Amino acid sequence: MAAAAGVLDPTKSEVQGLDNLSPALKTALQDLEAKFTVDRQKLKQISQRFEEELREGLQKDGCNIPMNVTWTLGFPSGDEAGEFLAVDLGGTNLRVCWIVLKGREEEKVVTQKKYKLPAEIKTGEAEALWRLIVDSLEDFIATNELPRDDGEPLALGFTFSYPAHQDYVDHGVLQTWTKGFDIKGVEGEDAASQLTEAMKKRNLPVRLVALINDTTGAMIASAYNDPETIIGAIFGTGCNAAYMDHVGSIPKLHTDLPDATPMAINCEYGAFDNAHRVLPLTKYDEAIDRESPRPGEQSFEKMSAGLYLGELFRHILCEMYDKGLVFKGQDVKKLQEPYALDTGFLSSLEDDPFREARGRFEDYLNISITWEELQLAQRLAEIIAVRGARLCTCGVSAICRMKGIESGHVAADGSVANKHPKFKARWAQAMGEVLDWPSDRKEDPIIITSAEDGSGIGAAVISAMTLQRVKQGNMAGIRQQL
């Protein structure tokens, strides 16, 4: 648990020399610190409200947090095997994978290729999206000389990391786009059928077996190797988690399956507190929401996920520039471009030695930054990232409390979890605060682990589990005659 004070104490900083800032900058910074600090009591309050919203989502449809059933029925045994295609449509990339599973003890074979997901696609028409996916699949199949000889269509797991209502594992009606996507013609429609249609038109030798979320994928892929996995969580461009519940604890689900049947739930908790009851929103959060394609949605995600951290930082610096506090007399055109800075910029800023950080401002923003401004920027990056990491514990702790989970592994993936060097320590600290872990503990009972590739391997394992069910004649939650 030993780490520098700034990493673990939300009110302290690791940035050196802040005392020497000019009085004007000091005042501005203190004001921001007050607005962005989420103390233990507030964390607990948020986490409690979170638990209420999780429970509401299990009760009925149409709640803030949709708690989507996924028809992934239970954890994998570890014996699942076979060859699978996976398409991963995340927030930033499109990826196609070929995965050979041979059981838990054996090495997996993964061949993959990333395809460009041009910005125009994200706000264009459905047809262009499916064309891009089918083009990429076709290229991948040809390059890797798939399928081989048996003439059977290739089994595909489709990782569609957006809120989708699933009546079956091979079905998913998009509830709303998130992460800045705004493609016309998919919301309210079944994304699995749309992809299947597009593949048919092109005569691709592929059949869709499962549509999955990246969080469910992270949980299942990790559980394939690590039976202590309790939750799959993404702390990346977006934020969300999946966990395993039981059919009997999901009152809104009408099914003949026995109550004890395990069912993975994709919470979609980026939508927590859309009614703005507890989250400590600042005017910068409000501005980001206003300027997004879906104002009023994904309130929690917009305060904590990677897509928005750099944007928060940019908003604050722009305001300081307008007030004449920083970058006086400089051309800040680049800084004024929405989403000009990503989370990578923030995380390196927290770590960079002075010269590199200065260079980064010059390279990315054409701004020549003074020593004092740089200290301020480093502190800002820290404040924003600490708030994000602390808020990220509220959803996971709420799931743990709701299910009475006291120990286990949270399989985490995403750019913030993997690339921000201080995220995991900050998260662990805040988990202890929310869940009242004793301060003299030897180790944390719930720890964050690096997830297996959920969007690739997870899609393959869930497809294998689905095909196994078909073989056993257990068609619950499976639409097609696979």
Give contact residues for ligand BGC (rule: CB under 6 A): 91, 161-163, 178-179, 213-215, 234, 236, 238-240, 268, 270, 301
Contact 463, 114 (CB under 8 A): no
Which DSSP string do the residues of 263-311 spell out, in sequence order? Answer: EEEE--GGGTTTT-SS----HHHHHHHHTSSSTTS-HHHHHHSHHHHHH
153-170 in b/e form (b: 16+ CB < 10 A) is ebbbbbbbbbbbbbebbb
Nearest to 343 by CA among 234, 236, 214: 236
CA 403/CA 136 separation, integer angstroms = 41
Which one, 272 or 361, has the nearer CB to ligand BGC? 272
Q: Which residues contact 2 (CB under 8 A, 6 or more apart)?
A: none
**Minimum CB separation from ligand BGC for residue 269, in Å?**
9
DSSP β-bridge partners for residue 245: 263
Which one, 26 or 294, has the nearer CB to ligand BGC? 294
Which one, 13 or 166, has the nearer CB to ligand BGC? 166
**Minimum CB separation from ligand BGC for residue 398, in Å?**
16
**Minimum CB separation from ligand BGC for residue 439, in Å?**
32
Which one, 76 or 232, has the nearer CB to ligand BGC? 232
**Minimum CB separation from ligand BGC for residue 264, in Å?**
13
Beta-sheet pairing, 81-89 with 94-102: antiparallel
Which one, 13 or 161, has the nearer CB to ligand BGC? 161
**Minimum CB separation from ligand BGC for residue 138, in Å?**
26
Position with the least CB separation from ligand BGC: 238
Three-state SS for 161? coil
DSSP β-bridge partners for residue 82: 101
CA 20/CA 18 separation, integer angstroms = 5
Quickly count: other Cβ atoms within 10 Å of residue 318's Cβ.
18
Task: From residue 82, give the alpha-carbon distance in Å to each of 136, 457, 481.
Answer: 22, 11, 19
Which one, 169 or 365, has the nearer CB to ligand BGC? 169
**Minimum CB separation from ligand BGC for residue 221, in Å?**
14
**Minimum CB separation from ligand BGC for residue 415, in Å?**
10
Nearest to 274 by CA among 259, 284, 289: 289
DSSP label of 184: B
Which one, 10 or 91, has the nearer CB to ligand BGC? 91
**Minimum CB separation from ligand BGC for residue 324, in Å?**
37
